[in-house]
Amino acid sequence: MVAGAQTGTTEGWSSRTAFVLAAVGAAVGLGNLWRFPTLAGESGGGAFVAVYVGCVILIGLPLVLSEILIGRAGRSDAVDSVRNVAKASGISEKWQIFGWFEIIAAFFILTFYSVVAGWVIYYIGVMLGDFFSALGAGEPLRGALAGETSEQITGRMGALFENVPMLVAMHTLFMLITIGIVAQGVTDGIEKAAMFLMPAFFVLLVLITIYGAFTGDFGRAVEFLFTPDFSKLTPPVINEALGQALFSMSLGSAALMTYGAYVSRDTKLGPTAGMIGFADTGVAIIAGLMIFPIVFAAGLDPAGGPTLVFQSLPIAFQNMPAGSLIGLLFFVLVFFAALTSSISLLEGPTAWAKEAFGWSRSKTAWIVGLCIYVVGIACALSLSIWSDVRLLPFWDIFADQNIFDTIDGFTGKILLPTSAFLTAIFVGWRADRKLVDAETGLQGGTLAAFRFLVAWVCPIAVGLILLFGIFPELLTAISG
């Protein structure tokens, strides 16, 4: 802990493995399984993937390390950790502002994240029912949703959006599970969940990918994901890739700082950050290799957009052997990934409120979770009956977006990059250099590389995303 820290956490991971699994669990989520394939599909595949991987290495990794090290050095929630490090560095405590931004970002991301995770639970229900009816019919290896037409399958999503009680019920269920786990604490809740969910997730991921490789059009998927067509590299694609890298690695949203505060002194942070980044990117790419063979085999459009996973995949599962079982497993896998991420999203604001108000962990988790839940209901309603409600009508980029898209856009385009930018300036330029260097556990060339990336590459690149996110007309001007 840095000298002068007054507040602090008494909780901690019971092992390095526990921390790595929890942090990988935070990173791997709907961002990898739902958003990454969607964006790669829409932006022409390989070109997007190439830029994305570049962003992860040059910007994501140094920022992951920066956030974890602030947490471990500050030994508290996101706000107090930044303040403690600022104090120890002899600079203004006003730097805690980005700790605030991160907590606010986590709060709002979870509001819509939980709604999407609710869709996942709904699809688990659909697939479970289908699997049992396949079993009942004595055909356990048949395709998914055998009796339905493609229109019926695609129609489910719209019908779910209109079905407000169902949508809210699924969101409720997901939030209850998330809160229930966070309320148990770091070792008894978060860590136990990660130690079970992450290994189960990886087993399912490998299984379904192998299945797709054998039954789907694997060659075409590989070609799609790894042959970059550089003519597709427009500024909006680069911008999108950078934003996605931040979101996917859980940057700018308090999760990594908060988890960092629970890491023991003898864990080397540099290599650990590398593992988190590697696992997160690996899962995103494997998710592509899992989803696109199935999509191509069914002759569907890879650029299906946000409904790729929820509409295209079920149609694809219909045409595949054992699709009914694999479809079910697929949505269970997505659910596991979403849950470990939502836990980390709730933990950031919870850790802060617990320190700030002196409440017990369990009380804090329930109160904070309930507030998020209520805003989440507004996100859910904005998919149908509240679709005309505008949160920021005076701001042109959000003027015609519903509540869901406004919160998603505001956090992703404004809050995350702002915090990431400030983190880079703070760690790269303002925080005590000896303290930072010692926390990284890096030496020689890798330390020099880290310092260069965090001080120069991150602020410039992230500053650009921010600028283009706020003034999209600049992008249009550049791309002609």
Binding site for ligand PHE (CB under 6 A): 26-27, 29-32, 106, 109, 247-248, 250, 253, 255, 341, 344-345
- Which helix (DSSP H) or strand (DSSP E) does residue 355 occupy? helix 323-357
Count of CB atoms within 10 A of residue 105's CB? 29
Count of CB atoms within 10 A of residue 478's CB? 11
DSSP secondary structure code for residue 455 in this structure: I
Least distance between ligand PHE and beta carbon 248 (Å): 4
Which is nearer to ligand PHE, 270 or 277 (by Cβ)?
277
Least distance between ligand PHE and beta carbon 208 (Å): 18
Which is nearer to ligand PHE, 318 or 411 (by Cβ)?
411
* 8 A C-beta contact, residue 327 and residue 158: no
Which is nearer to ligand PHE, 73 or 106 (by Cβ)?
106
Sign of the Cα torsion 375, 381, 383, 385 reads: negative
**Euclidean distance between CA atoms 79 and 85, whole angstroms:** 10
**Euclidean distance between CA atoms 57 and 241, whole angstroms:** 12
Q: CA dist 200 to 101, 157, 287, 329, 338, Å?
A: 33, 27, 15, 11, 13
Least distance between ligand PHE and beta carbon 246 (Å): 9
**Euclidean distance between CA atoms 16 and 7, whole angstroms:** 24
**Euclidean distance between CA atoms 410 and 101, whole angstroms:** 12
Least distance between ligand PHE and beta carbon 31 (Å): 2
Which is nearer to ligand PHE, 26 or 351 (by Cβ)?
26
Which is nearer to ligand PHE, 31 or 46 (by Cβ)?
31
* 8 A C-beta contact, residue 353 and residue 359: yes
* 8 A C-beta contact, residue 46 and residue 225: yes
Least distance between ligand PHE and beta carbon 344 (Å): 5
**Euclidean distance between CA atoms 4 and 90, whole angstroms:** 11
Which is nearer to ligand PHE, 130 or 408 (by Cβ)?
408
Which is nearer to ligand PHE, 216 or 277 (by Cβ)?
277
C-alpha neighbours within 13 Å on the C-beta side of residue 244: 28
The structure tokens 């329930």 sit at 366
Which is nearer to ligand PHE, 36 or 211 (by Cβ)?
36
Which is nearer to ligand PHE, 109 or 377 (by Cβ)?
109
Least distance between ligand PHE and beta carbon 106 (Å): 6
**Euclidean distance between CA atoms 316 and 104, whole angstroms:** 38
Which is nearer to ligand PHE, 110 or 144 (by Cβ)?
110
Least distance between ligand PHE and beta carbon 341 (Å): 4
C-alpha dihedral over 457, 463, 467, 469, to 10 degrees? 90
Give the tokens for residue 411: 């956090």
In 95-189, which ranges are continuous DSSP H helix? 97-136, 150-162, 164-183
Least distance between ligand PHE and beta carbon 444 (Å): 31
Least distance between ligand PHE and beta carbon 247 (Å): 6
Least distance between ligand PHE and beta carbon 27 (Å): 5
